[in-house]
Amino acid sequence: MRVLLIEMILILFIGSASSAMAQSAEAGWNEAGVRIGIQANNKSSEYIHQYDAFAVYGLPWEWHNSSWWRVTPNVNFSLGVLSSAKETGFIGSVGPALVLNSQGSGWTADLGINANVMNRRHFGNRDFGSILQFGAYAGINYRFNNGLKIGYRLQHISNGHIFYPNGTPNPGLDTHIIGTSYVF
């Protein structure tokens, strides 16, 4: 349900941005950093942490309106680990995002969806139902003049019963994530 809500927000975001002035933007790698996350809810007796390194590839479009609010699309890539009290395993993700910012301000907001792959479906006593997970997130960031960026995001991953029958476990995972990166 949460993934569907964020997907709808992204569609509305794209629709409203398409009516604004479209412009060409420079495509390419524009950010790299690290993040750490802690479980936001306690659906099991074990807490899961997430640690990852990430990179952002900016796409060659941007939309802005007359008040200089801009929406820029990008693709996010990450490699990391999920860790419970008993086990640690790989998680990788890739997916599109939209970033909203105002020219001259260091504040940005981002919304994104992603596909996640884990090397196992069980972490401790939690069964994620599959190694393929879908994710969605919303975040807020601040970029300093020297290129350093700090941020927070609330992220949800689950298998969503999209490729798996309703009897498949789908506990999902909500995490509070903080990160730091360098914007090129």
Q: Which residues span the domain enclosing 59?
A: 2-183
Instruction: Give the CATH number, domain containing residue 148.
Output: 2.40.160.20
Closest CA to 149 of 177, 111, 178, 118: 178
Mean pLDDT computed over every residue of the chain: 86
Residue 6 has a pLDDT of 57
Residue 133 has a pLDDT of 93
CA distance 56 to 58: 6
Q: Is pLDDT above 80 for 168?
A: no
* Model pLDDT for residues 106-164, shown as the tens digit of each residue: 999 999 999 999 999 888 778 888 899 999 999 999 999 999 999 999 999 998 777 66
* Model pLDDT for residues 119-130, shown as the tens digit of each residue: 998 887 788 888
* Per-residue tokens: 182: 């360098």
* Total tally of structural domains belonging to the chain: 1
CA distance 82 to 11: 30
Please tell me the pTM assigned to this model: 0.84
